Each structure stands twice: as C-alpha cells, then as structure tokens.
Amino acid sequence: MAGNTFGHLFKLTTFGESHGKAIGGVLDGCPAGLELDFEAVQTDLDRRKPGQSAIVTQRKEPDTVEFYSGIFEGKTTGTPIGFAIHNTNQKSNDYSHIRDSYRPSHADYVYDQKYGFRDYRGGGRSSARETASRVVGGAIAKQFLQGIEINAFVSQVGALQLEKAYDELDFSLIESNPVRCPDPEMAQKMEDYIKKIKKEGDTVGGVITCVAKNVPIGLGEPVFDKLHADLGKAMLSINAVKGFEYGSGFEGVKMKGSAHNDQFNTDGTTKTNHSGGIQGGVSNGMDIYFNVAFKPVATVIQPYETIDKEGNKVMTQGKGRHDPCVVPRAVPIVEAMTALVLADFMLLGRGSKL
Amino acid sequence: MAGNTFGHLFKLTTFGESHGKAIGGVLDGCPAGLELDFEAVQTDLDRRKPGQSAIVTQRKEPDTVEFYSGIFEGKTTGTPIGFAIHNTNQKSNDYSHIRDSYRPSHADYVYDQKYGFRDYRGGGRSSARETASRVVGGAIAKQFLQGIEINAFVSQVGALQLEKAYDELDFSLIESNPVRCPDPEMAQKMEDYIKKIKKEGDTVGGVITCVAKNVPIGLGEPVFDKLHADLGKAMLSINAVKGFEYGSGFEGVKMKGSAHNDQFNTDGTTKTNHSGGIQGGVSNGMDIYFNVAFKPVATVIQPYETIDKEGNKVMTQGKGRHDPCVVPRAVPIVEAMTALVLADFMLLGRGSKL
Amino acid sequence: MAGNTFGHLFKLTTFGESHGKAIGGVLDGCPAGLELDFEAVQTDLDRRKPGQSAIVTQRKEPDTVEFYSGIFEGKTTGTPIGFAIHNTNQKSNDYSHIRDSYRPSHADYVYDQKYGFRDYRGGGRSSARETASRVVGGAIAKQFLQGIEINAFVSQVGALQLEKAYDELDFSLIESNPVRCPDPEMAQKMEDYIKKIKKEGDTVGGVITCVAKNVPIGLGEPVFDKLHADLGKAMLSINAVKGFEYGSGFEGVKMKGSAHNDQFNTDGTTKTNHSGGIQGGVSNGMDIYFNVAFKPVATVIQPYETIDKEGNKVMTQGKGRHDPCVVPRAVPIVEAMTALVLADFMLLGRGSKL
Amino acid sequence: MAGNTFGHLFKLTTFGESHGKAIGGVLDGCPAGLELDFEAVQTDLDRRKPGQSAIVTQRKEPDTVEFYSGIFEGKTTGTPIGFAIHNTNQKSNDYSHIRDSYRPSHADYVYDQKYGFRDYRGGGRSSARETASRVVGGAIAKQFLQGIEINAFVSQVGALQLEKAYDELDFSLIESNPVRCPDPEMAQKMEDYIKKIKKEGDTVGGVITCVAKNVPIGLGEPVFDKLHADLGKAMLSINAVKGFEYGSGFEGVKMKGSAHNDQFNTDGTTKTNHSGGIQGGVSNGMDIYFNVAFKPVATVIQPYETIDKEGNKVMTQGKGRHDPCVVPRAVPIVEAMTALVLADFMLLGRGSKL
C-alpha cells in the first residue's frame, strides 16, 4: 500500500517521477456517459504548468495529456481512464549535484532511509510534478460535478494577507493576474514581493483559499470520512502544504458558542456560515470554504551547508529553475483535489438511502 | 461505504449511537503477541469520560469496555478485537425537545436530509460519544508503539494561548490540572475562564497540541497517504475540529525558505524542526508536532430560535449536561487517533523494502 | 489487514472466537430506511444453529443476536449496525486435548506458525461458529434485496448426487427435510447415509447449489470484481469449501462454443443459460446458479495419530459434538454470502451511469 | 468502484480497451530494491500473445511493454510502476458488424444495459486483451517471489483429460508443445483436436492446473481473505473462467473425513495433500494446486441468429481471428494471477506478528 490512490469510488491512481519517461494515472469509477471537454482539461494543466509567467519556474514543460482508454466517441464509458503526460524536458544533469547529498527540507534523506535508495533526479516521486496527474483527474471530476462551482485563489503570500472575506471578492478576476489573487491591488503587491524574493534567490510561502458553491446537501460520511476530513487529507497530500482549516478555522476557537452557532433561516439555509458549509461532516448546502497553508519552497538558489550519504558536511547550492513561491501554480491543484473529493462523495452518497 | 472504518492495515471500525444499547468497535490488524495492559486502556477511557472534573459535562457514564475477542491469555492473537461499551445513562427524555426541531450547528438537519430520518436521541451517531471507541483502539495502538511517546495537551482556550514552545514544557504536568495544560499558571487562567463561560450557559473553543517523540524514520507513504495527510484526516474526523497544522503550520508561510529549511546535523537530525518531523510525507526521526483547532461546543444553555422539520420558527433552549469547552476531554482522543495513524504506518512500512 | 471485512460498500466485519465471550460484527453501508424483520434474521440463524436435527452436531447454542446500533424505530438509519451473539455453551474443557497437539486438516498448525500461538479452544477464530455473524449480515442483505429470491439447497452428499436440474425442483420442499434437499426421495437417501457415516464416527462432504432469481441486469464490475469472481470468493471463504463453479462450470469445458453459446430471445433473455446468468462478469437478468463443494468435516470421532508442538507423535481422538456432514447447516450461510455479494453490487451499480 | 484494481498491498490497477490507443496498468506496492529481469517479463508476454502457434488466434500484436516509472537503475524504487502496451494492430473495421447487434455469450448486451452504451470495437474493456497487463504485473510478482515456483499447464481440452496427478508430470515439458500440456502424447491429441475444432469454425473449453511449490507457511488471512478465496477470485476474474477448485476439490466431497484428512509427519509436512497446501485459509508449506475451468470461446466462425439493439432478429457471423481454444494462451495468465495473490499475501503476512 504505497498510497498512490485517492478516493473510495471516484478513484485516481497516479504514477511517475519528475525525470522518468512519463507521469500519468488511472481514473477509475467515473460514471459512464459524461461528455468530456478536453480543452477544459488542458486549460487546467496550463494553469499549473511551469513557464506561464515571470513569477514561476521558467522550466519548459508542455504538459500535454494523452488519453489511452475509458473514452469512446467523446464520452466516458465507465471503464478506467488511463492517461500519460510524457516528460520532454528532462535535464537530468541539473540534478547530478544532489545524487550524493541531501537537500534540507526535501524528501531525499527520508526516501533513502525508507527505501534503501532513491531516484535522485529532481526529486523523483516526491516532486510536485506528480500533481499534473491530479489536475487531469480533477478536471474530469469538475465536469462530472455539473452545477457545482469550485474557485480557488491566493489569499496570502508571505505576510501579505487579503483582508476581505471570500464573498466580497470577484472570482472572475482570479485569472487576471499571475498571482491568481482576485483583488488586483493586493495581487500587484504580492507579485512585486515574489519578484523581490526571487531576486534574492529565496522563496516564500502562501495561503490558498478555496470556495465551492452549489454543493448539494448530504455529501460526506459521518465519523471517519467526514467531508472536511477528506478535504483536509486531500489538501495535506499536496506538496508543501502545512495546514488546513475550514469555516471559522483556527480563529473560530476564540468565539463563544452562542455567537459561533449558525442560526437557521426557515428554508434550511443559515444566517451565518461559521460552519463552512459542513455540519457533522456533511454538507449543508451553504458555501464550503477553506484555507490551505503552503510553506516556502525548499529549493533556494543560495549556497548552503548540508550532509552527504556518509554524513560528511558538504557545501552545495540550489540550481535549476524553481518557483520562488508555489501558490500561484497550486491554485488549480487545490481545485482539482476539491473536485475529486466532491465527486467521490457524490457517488458514495448514492448509497445513503433505499 | 458509510465511512466507519479508519486505517489501512491497523483498522478500527466503530459502531454505536449516543443513546443506543452500546457503542463499540472492531480493531482488526493488530499483530499477534502483544501483551495488553487493560488498566492503561481504562485509564485513557477515564481521561475522556464525562464527570471527571468541574469544567466538563456532569453526565455520569462509567464507560467500562468489555472485550469480546482477539485476546487470549492476556495477549492479542492476531484476530479481530471486538469490544463494546454499554450505555448505562441513557436519559432519552433529555432530548425529546430536539425530535422535531433542528439544533443550530449540529448534524440534525443534514442527517434528516441525507438519510430521510435520524435517531434524534442526543445526536445519535453524530455524538462525540463515538470517540470512546476510538480511545479503546488508540490505547491498544499506543501499546503496540512501544518506545514512541505521544503527548497531547491543551495549548489554547478561547483567546488564552500558551506562548511557550512545546519543548519548553514539562509534559508530566499535563494531568496535574483539569484543563490538561502543562503550564500551571496558564492552566489556572483557562480553568477560571471555562468556569465563567459555563456560568453564562455558553461555550468556547480551544486548541490541542500533540507531540510524538521517538518515531522511527520512514513512516508515511509518499503522495496521497503522506503521514501528515493521514494525521490531518484523523484529527479532522474528531467531532468539532475545524483546523489542523503541523510543524511551522500557518505561521510558516510568512518565513523565507532560507530560514525555514531545516539544516542537517551530521547524524541526519536537523538543527531546527520547522518540518514538524515530517519531510515529503515521511517521518524523519525528529519530533512530530501539530495543532488541532476545536470550535466552541454547539449546545449552549440559552434560549434560541430555530426551525422545525416543516421549516417553522420555534423557540427552544439547550438542556442537559454539556461541556462548556471540549478540549480537556479531547486530549486522549487526539492521542488515540495519533497512535492509530502511527501504528497503521508502522505496519504499512513493513512492505517498503525487499 | 487481517481480512475480517467483506464487501466494498455493503460491508460486513466480523469478530469472535468459538469459545470467547461473544461473536458478532458490524454491518456498514446498509442504506437508511430499511424496515427490518427481526424474526427473519432469527429464522436464518436457527437454520444454521446446532442441535436442529439428528444429523447435525448436538451442541446447544441458542444463537440469539443482540443489535447494538444502526436501527431506530425498527428501521436502519444508515449508520453501522453493530451486533453480538453471546456464547453460552463454552465447554472449553472439551478442547483441552488439542492444546498441545495439532488436529489433521485443521488450522491449528498453521495458526501457531503464523501468529506464534493460538486460542486453542475449539478452533478459535478458524471455527465455523464465525459464520453465524455472516448469517446475521446476510439476513439483512436479503431484506435489502427485495424482489430477488435466493434459494440454496443440498444437491450432493458423498456420491449421492441430485440428477435433476435446478429448474425441475420445487424449492418449497427445501426446508421439509433435515438435509435441505428439495427432492424428498433423494433427501431420504442422503439422511440415511449421513446417519450411517455418523455411526461410524466418520464424516462426509457435499455440494450446495444456490439459485438467485430476479436479479436485475447490470450487477457486477468488469475485470477484477466480476460478479462471479466475488461470488466465488464469498463461497470459498466459507469454512470447508473446496470448489466453486457457476453456470455450465467444469462440465461446460467439454462443450463446443456453438452449443454452449446462449442465443438471445428478442426481449434480451436467452434460450439457454449456460452462462449462469452472468456474461462478462455482469448479471444479464437470467437465473444465477452455482455449485459449492464442501469437504468432509475434519473432526472424526476415531483415534488417530498426530504430532504435538514439539513434533512428537501422539495418539489422540476427536471428541465433542461435531457435524458428520456440514452441508445441511451451510445452506443458510451460502444464501447469506450470496445476499451480501448481491447487495454490495446493487450499491456499486448505482455509480455506473451519470 | 469499477473494480479495476487487484490486491490489498501488492496492487495492480489496469486500464485499456482492445482497440484503444493502449492498454496498461499501475503496479503499486512492490517493495523497493527488486532487480528486474525485463526479458522475463517479455517472455511471459510472448507466451500470452496471439500468433505464437497454429492453434491460437493469428492476430499480430507484438505486445511490447513500455515502463514509465517506479524503476531506477534497473531496480524497483518502491514507487508505483506505470506501464503501457500500445495497440498496433487495431483492425476496427473487423468489428463494425457488432456495433448494432449483440454477440451471444459476450458482454455486449450487459454493457449496453449497465453503462448506456459501449465501446463496440472488439469487446472493448471486456476483451481478454486486458490480461496482457496482468501478465506484466504477474511477471514482476514472480520475481518478487524468489524461491517460489509457479507452474501452470493445460490438463484438459474438451473431454481430453490428463489422467496423471500433477506430481507425476515433468513441468519442463510444458513449453515443449503449443498446447502447454506436459504430457507429450496427450498434448498431441489435444493439438489435433483443437485443429479439428478450428477447421469447423467452432471452439472448445479446457482446464488449466496450477501448482505453486515452496510457498512459505502462513500466507493467507483467516475468514474472508483466505488464501484459496483470493486465488479463486483471481482465477474467476480471468475471461471465460467458469470454475475453480483446489486440493481435493469437487471430487473430495465423496471421500470420508478419515481418508481425506492429511496426517502429519513429525516435521509438520503431511503424508497426503488433499488440503492442496492450504488449511483454514493459510498455506501450510505443502504444494498448492488447483484447477481452473475455461468455457469454449464465445466467438464461433459460423452464421448465427441474434438480436440488434432494438430487439430485432438479425443473422450474423463471427469474423476475424479468434482462438479456437483459450487455454494454451491462458497458462501465463493463470500463473500471473497466482503470483499476484501470493505476493500480496507475502506483504500482508509481514503484519501478522509483533
């Protein structure tokens, strides 16, 4: 159980290393009869891909997905959807310097300990390149979730934090700037800050907020597979994520119950939404919203001391083309994982009643 | 798939409603030959049980666990461990007032929508009473994890926040006060605050911090089943939890990568531990630490307006014996879920290498 | 993963040893709103229980099931159904003779090798007593499968084989004799033969045939989880089963394809049914029928030589009250497992199409 | 849960239709550090591939596997092994005649019913072409199972049945003839018979026997995941399989327990092996052997009447290049599935004891 499958019924299995022949996956459990919009899939891949703007890594990877199965005459057949993205830009020599030493706060050291050795080319399986396969699966899940709107955006970069609540924002502005922050003024500040950090050869973290609207009531399974528990796992499984909170989150602990409780309107909606659209682990029809914290990227373009396999100190330096801040490119990944979780619970929910 | 099983190999399935005959579970996958300390199991149940101090609910539930199988001559046999905790204090009449109306920020409304009807006696399956079964499973997991130390404690109640880092605290003081905060001075403040809130008939949230020491290197599966992803899911599956962060968490996003990276010592340990003991989803041998946010309990002992099944407005009032703040009793639950996750990855890890 | 759970969505987990305090289980995933007929559950348990006739073991076990959860006001709530059957007739001393030696063709030896030691009282977890929990789960599954008729019966005892095809038999006669063979004449022969074998202190095997009528088209998942593959696994998981065949089975290999193919009628039914109601792993609406082979019970009431834990030869003798032939009591178990498989695929099938 | 994954820990997921771009799979859970013999993988693929002899289908498919991930410097890395076999010989026009009508005893009809439509090109997902992916996974599993010998062979074609017990046969002769029967005389008879059947445009069934030697004691999980239950499911999931029996199988039901029981030698081995190497669902170190029944291939090259989508009678005729008897090519598939099951239980077994 190497943990490369996500979902109970709408199941995505991924494979592939950053510098292998191809990455890809198998999406199993997508119901038959879904007419696929292949351009929408590619659009999400393009939102994740390197080289899209001046504030992301300048690697060139076209990230074109090739579908092998599960689709006939443009529609899903109910059989597994196999796909691959061939790696075309494998500059393995960029990584020769990390073959024998361990980069701090990367998976190099623990992989060697766990598996006895590792594919040292660019992070191998621990590379965020794997998430391209998730974006493919998520883009199909989005299409299955007709009527549900999922929007993620950058709400914090370093200490620059969006003050406005999500419902004061215009989501149509998310894609209008390279940061993917729907507040143009703040987006500009964030962009400037990321450029400054990049010039220093350093990196910085950020927060992505995600909102799902029009989610039907009843998604989520009580007890262990609560909707927010699976959402949390989905987000925490994305590279560099350090935290997850939904609804009132960490701030909500300071409130009193009398103020925190969401009073009902007569139609079953609530006057406030501290619950974040989920009560007892089950969606209640209100907007679902949550925050995802990303740490600063570990690869800095500065000299640093580390150790080699034998435990000797060595001086080294980050090379290659890396992201100074991961959140702009992580926006479609957060959306993809959200869609996968919701699609999964849509199918699970079909078994709730007689 | 109603989601009542947790774990891949070390698997806990629970059953039971707050006011049914019994709650209980089946722990499947615990290796054979583990000599069980039954008193330790009961001790953890007692740490969770109602009525243990003045700042928790005054319900009386002895919470005595009865083991049915999987144990012979005091040792686990490798077969499933079935157990039950019989409910002895089922004051169902306390809950008659919620049969026809929906309590705000409870699961009442969504259960009715999802399942068509619900066991309205005291929350039924959505009651935190279910977590007693988790404590039983977790207490056995702790014993399986010989050498690993798991300590959870209350680090925040309302706005009262422990300033000290976890490694400045004396864990032997955790059980010395009813709040389960290892800083006696802060513990007293928290206790006073909870009493004040209780007197108001109100409730307040809090944060539990958990630390696992001596975790071997290599636990966690890359990609979807990262160690912190499963820990996050485990925590988020506990009633009232709204957020999870590990290592540097949400604060870490403000740091630069050059400062956030944990530099290696020559023995593979790191000089700092912003990673929270986990790199690339796999334990690195350093302390694992994380925070879990709990919302204020939804049941307040105040009159409030809500709706009935037909959508009519009704006035009602919280009754019964409820916790003004859930975190003191949730400490053993957080430890139990942590132990279940670690035990699960210990077994999974046995398949990593030839 | 000790393998004590069956099913993907309609999931039964069982626990318990033959001579522990209780056996039982958790049925998770049964949809909400099913009105339960508790007498029907007990009727199936009574068909399985010892002491019901002169040709089965004379042990006395009332086998009364106690439900703990998941049912409210007589209906399933969608939450897990926990239940237990308390062991009342634990004559552990009957088994003291097998503590230190291994009974041939029992699990004693392999359990000691696999787990390091075993609960030696009466087979422990390897006892067919575990199947009582399956009968409980299966009885609920039957009720979920309203309209589908599942009938199992004994079609062979030793060399005595029913010649008639299943559709020439009157299933209402199955319960009219202690063998559970719907042909009264053959039933009498079988009964006489079992009595003779019992007098010899010996045992004999048999075959159970099972027929499921009115199964909707479309149950079963292509490739690995074919309907007959899961049915086969379900049957082979029953104690003492050595073989499974469906439709034309082993005899069908001798046929030519032109004769074996089931030609269509214009309504989609087929003129013959060599397929056994399943094509490509998916039900086609025709009767599903299959045979299950049971070996002769291993416990014979005769002296025999075996070995002890140290590998020394020892003489011993089967004691206690055992079945001379297991098939009459296994009929409700075969039905229960069939119902569990069909219920599981009913739920899985809800995800096939948009 | 469309059922395209096999195994609990050593997990194979497959994808692909007979006439899509590619078939392939992901093998997840193979431990790190296994040095792979790629020629051995291809050898097994070649034993399965069409066109290898005069008695199998004359389609030309090179079936060259391309590995995408999970392997580095010739060894498994512990990450998922993604692979694809590109389809090069897609004569889709061969199948235009089945677009609108249903072939008897194929999956055409039930797929249309279950999914609303189907990929009608050559069976799509229901084609046995899928099993090439299993052979790849199984070939890797074989290499993981160092020391265990798995040999499958044809023991029956139509009514021509090998009389000798498996331990009287010389397995080195299996590959010496196109039938894969280790008795040269019988092999010749079978070959002649298959040729005769082929000339008639007809097909015939057969039986494959499989023997696994040197299996360690302790594989298999009691209760639902018995070793023979998972073996049975694995075999029954192969296209055209109608029955499975192990050890004494269906014949054993006629024996008395006193004769059927396998008496122990002092070293724990048994004097006879009616148990087929498995007791109580767990391997006992003796040879594991079982039989698998395959029905006659449904595609006959003869005119026949069937129905179209609207239920009208239509005359049609099987075309293309099909196998007159499937068993010679199914031998490596049976071996592959056996290897997958054993590898899975090897990993599961690592969790049995402390």
By DSSP bridging, strand D71-72 and strand B282-283 are: unpaired
Cβ–Cβ contact A33 with C under 8 A = yes
H helical segments located in A270-350: 327-349
C-alpha distances in Å from residue C60, one per residue of C49, C123, D138: 8, 17, 48
Considering Cα of C46, then C49, then C55, then C58, what sign does the dihedral take?
negative
- Give me the residue from A5, A21, A24 closest to D28, CB to CB: A5
pLDDT digits (tens, 9 = 90+) for A135-156: 999 999 999 999 999 999 999 9
Query: Which residues of chain C lie closer than 8 angstroms to D282, CB-CB?
Result: 107, 110-111, 114
φ, ψ of residue D54 to 5 degrees: the values are -75, -15
* Smallest CA–CA distance from B263 into chain A, residue: A104
Length of chain D: 354
Cβ A321 vs Cβ A57: under 8 Å? yes
- Cα–Cα dist C98/C127, whole Å: 14
Q: Mind listing the pLDDT tens digit of every residue in chain C (354 residues)?
A: 589 999 999 999 999 999 999 999 999 999 999 999 999 999 999 999 998 998 988 888 889 999 999 999 999 999 999 999 998 866 656 677 788 899 999 999 999 999 999 999 888 999 999 999 999 999 999 999 999 999 999 999 999 999 999 999 999 999 999 999 999 999 999 999 999 999 999 999 999 999 999 999 999 999 999 999 999 999 999 999 999 999 999 999 999 999 999 999 999 999 999 999 999 999 999 999 999 999 999 999 999 899 999 999 999 887 777 899 999 999 999 999 999 999 999 999 999 999
Which residue from C337, C344, C283 is spatially nearest to C8, judged by alpha carbons?
A: C344
Query: Is C90's Cβ below 8 Å from some Cβ in B?
Result: no
Show Cβ contacts of residue B165 under 8 Å, excluding neighbours closer than 6 positions. Answer: none
D303 at the C interface (CB within 8 A)? no
Domains within chain A, CATH numbers bracketed? 5-349 (3.60.150.10)
* CA dist., res. D227 & res. D221, Å (int): 7
Q: Which tokens in the block code for residue A265?
A: 């309107």
Residues in chain B: 354
Mean pLDDT of D277-300: 97
Nearest CA-CA distance, residue D290 and chain A, Å: 28
Q: Please list, residue by residue across D274-296, b when 16 or more beta carbons sit within 10 angstroms of its beta carbon and e when fewer do.
A: bbbbbbbbbbbbbbbbbbbbbbb
Closest-CA residue to A109 (of C182, B249, A100, C261)? A100
Cβ pair A223:B266 closer than 8 A: no
**Interface partners of A (3+ CB pairs, < 8 Å)?**
B, C, D
Residue B209: its chain A contacts at CB < 8 A?
Answer: none
Q: Do D84 and A81 touch (CB under 8 A)?
A: no
By CB atoms closer than 10 A (0-12, 13-18, 19+), residue B312 is: exposed
Residue ranges of the binding site of D = 48, 125-127, 239-240, 280, 295-299, 321
The predicted pLDDT at position A123 comes to: 85
For residue D153, list its beta bridge partners: D209
Residue D15: which of A9, A82, A125 has the nearest Cβ? A82
The region, left, alpha or beta by phi > 0 then psi within -120 to 50, assigned to residue C210 is beta
Query: What is the predicted pLDDT for the residue at C91?
Result: 60
Q: How many CB atoms lie within 10 A of CB C319?
A: 14
Question: pLDDT class for B321, splitting at 50, 70, 90?
Answer: confident
Which residue among D254, D258, D352 sits closest to C300, beta carbon to beta carbon?
D258
Closest CA to D241 of C258, C245, C341: C245
Q: What is the C-alpha separation between C119 and C104, in angstroms, rounded? A: 17
Continuous segment of H or E residues that includes residue D263: none
On chain C, the residues whose CB falls within 8 A of the CB of D288 are: none
Neighboring chain C residues of D205 at a CB cutoff of 8 Å = 252-255, 260
Please list the helix, strand and coil fractions of chain C in percent, rounded to the nearest 5, in that order: 30, 25, 45
Question: What's the mean per-residue pLDDT of chain A?
Answer: 95
Judged by a CB distance cut-off of 8 A, whether residue A117 touches chain B is no
Which tokens in the block code for residue C128? 């067919």
CA distances from A219 to A139, A297, B208 (A): 20, 34, 28
Half-sphere exposure of C43 toward its Cβ, with a 13 Å CA cutoff?
10
Q: What is the ipTM of this complex?
A: 0.97
**Which residues on adjacent β-strands are paired with residue A72?**
A75
Q: Which of A9, A15, A79 sits opposite D26 (nearest CB)?
A: A15
Using one digit for the tens of pLDDT, what is the confidence trace for A268-316?
999 999 999 999 999 999 999 999 999 999 999 989 899 999 999 999 8
Say if strands B22-28 and B81-86 run parallel, antiparallel, or are unpaired: antiparallel
Q: Is A99 annotated as a binding residue?
A: no
Rounded to whole angstroms, how far apart are CA atoms A341 and B76? 36
* Least confident piece of the model among A42-46, A74-78, A292-296, C311-315: C311-315
- Report residue A220's pLDDT band, with 50, 70 and 90 as the boundaries: very high
Residue in the block written with tokens 């879904």:
A34
Taking only Cα atoms into account, the Rg of chain D, rounded to an integer number of angstroms, comes to: 21
Model confidence at D31, pLDDT cuts 50, 70, 90, reads: very high
Mean pLDDT of chain D: 95
C17 touches chain B (CB under 8 A): yes
Is residue A82 within 8 A of residue A67, CB to CB? The reply is: yes
Q: Please answer whether residues A2 and D77 qualify as being in contact, where contact means their C-beta atoms are separated by less than 8 angstroms.
A: no
Whole-number percent of chain D with pLDDT over 90: 87
DSSP codes, A206-222: EEEEEEEESPPTT-S-S
DSSP conformation class of A9: S
Chain C / chain D CB contacts < 8 angstroms: 370
Task: Say if residue B126 carries a ligand binding annotation.
Answer: yes
How far from C322 is each of C55, C63, C68, D121, CA to CA, in Å?
Answer: 10, 17, 31, 56
Beta-carbon separation of C302 and D261 below 8 A: no
Q: Does A131 touch chain B (CB under 8 A)?
A: no
Enumerate the residues of chain C whose CB falls inside 8 A of the CB of residue D197. 256
Is C147 in CB contact (< 8 Å) with chain B?
A: no
Residue D92 in this model has a pLDDT that exceeds 60: no
- Beta bridge partner(s), residue D160: D157
Output the DSSP codes for A284-295. Answer: -SSPEEEEEEEP
Instruction: Indicate the annotated binding residues of D for FMN.
Output: 125-127, 239-240, 280, 295-299, 321
**Contacts of residue C80 in chain B, CB cutoff 8 Å?**
2, 4, 13-16
Question: What's the angle, vertex CA D246, arms to CA D241 and CA D252, rounded to 5?
Answer: 115
pLDDT digits (tens, 9 = 90+) for B208-231: 999 999 999 999 999 999 999 999
User: Closest Cα to residue C113, out of D275, D353, D9?
Assistant: D353
CB contact under 8 A, C295 and D223: no
User: How far from each other are the two terminal CA atoms of chain B, in whole angstroms?
Assistant: 33
Q: Which among A23, A154, A203, A258 is the top mutation candidate for probing chain B, defined by the most B β-carbons within 10 Å of its own β-carbon?
A: A258
User: Does residue A103 contact residue A306 with C-beta atoms inside 8 Å?
Assistant: yes
Question: Which residues in chain D (178-197) have CB-CB distances under 8 A to chain C?
Answer: 197
Q: Is B34 on the interface with C (CB under 8 A)?
A: no
Output the pLDDT for position D90: 61
A353 interfacial to chain C (CB closer than 8 Å): yes
Tokens 């059922």 correspond to what residue?
Answer: D3
Residues B318, B311: Cα–Cα separation, whole Å: 19
The verdict on pTM exceeding 0.95 is: yes
Beta bridge partners of C304: C316
Taken as a whole, chain A contains a residue count of 354
Give the residue on C whose Cα is nearest the Cα of A346: C351
Say how far apart CA C82 and CA C99 lie, in whole Å. 32
Closest CA to B114 of A284, A118, D34: A284
C110 and D217 within 8 Å at the Cβ level: the answer is yes
Q: Minimal Cα distance from A254: which residue of B?
A: B158
Q: D 39-78 residues with CB below 8 A of A? A: 66-70, 72, 75, 77-78
Query: Per residue, what are the HEC states of B252-304?
Result: HHHCEHHHHCCCECCCCCECCCCCCCEECCEECCCCEEEEEEECCCCCCCCEE
Residue type, B225: D
Statement: residue D319 has pLDDT above 90: no
Residue B58 has pLDDT above 90, yes or no: no
pLDDT tier at B2, thresholds 50, 70, 90: confident
Phi, psi of C33 (to 5 degrees): 100, 5
Residue A315 CA to residue A306 CA, distance in Å, equals 6
If we measure between CA atoms, which residue out of C347, C141, C78 comes closest to residue A352? C78
Give the span between the Cα atoms of D35 and D73, in whole angstroms. 9
- Report how far apart the first and last C-alpha atoms of chain C are (Å, whole number): 33
Closest CA to A336 of A6, A57, A1, A4: A6
C62 φ, ψ to 5°?
-65, -30
- Residue B294 touches partner A, C-beta closer than 8 Å: yes
pLDDT bin (cut points 50, 70, 90) of residue A90 is low
Backbone phi and psi for residue D313, each to the nearest 5 degrees, phi listed first: -70, 135
> C110 CB near a chain B CB, below 8 Å?
no
Name residues whose C-beta falls within 8 Å of residue A216's C-beta, 6 or more positions apart in sequence.
Answer: A283, A285, A346
- Say whether C351 and A350 touch across the interface (CB within 8 A): yes
Q: Treating both helix axes as pointing N-terminal to C-terminal, what angle do C131-144 and C327-349 enclose, rounded to 10 degrees?
A: 50
Distance of alpha carbon C296 from alpha carbon D247, whole angstroms: 13
In chain B, what residues touch C81 (CB-CB under 8 Å)?
A: 15
Helix axes C38-48, C327-349, angle to 10 degrees: 140
d(CA B282, CA C291): 48
Residue C151's H or E segment, with its range, is strand C149-157
Q: How many residues does chain C have?
A: 354
Contacts of C88 by beta carbon, 8 Å cutoff, 6+ apart: C61, C62
Give the number of C-alpha atoms closer than 13 A to the C-alpha of residue B8, restricted to the C-beta side.
Answer: 30
Q: Which residue of B has its CA nearest to C7?
A: B1
Instruction: Give the pairing of strands B303-308 and D5-6.
Output: unpaired
Q: Determine whether the interchain pair C4/B78 forms a contact, defined as Cβ–Cβ distance below 8 Å.
A: no
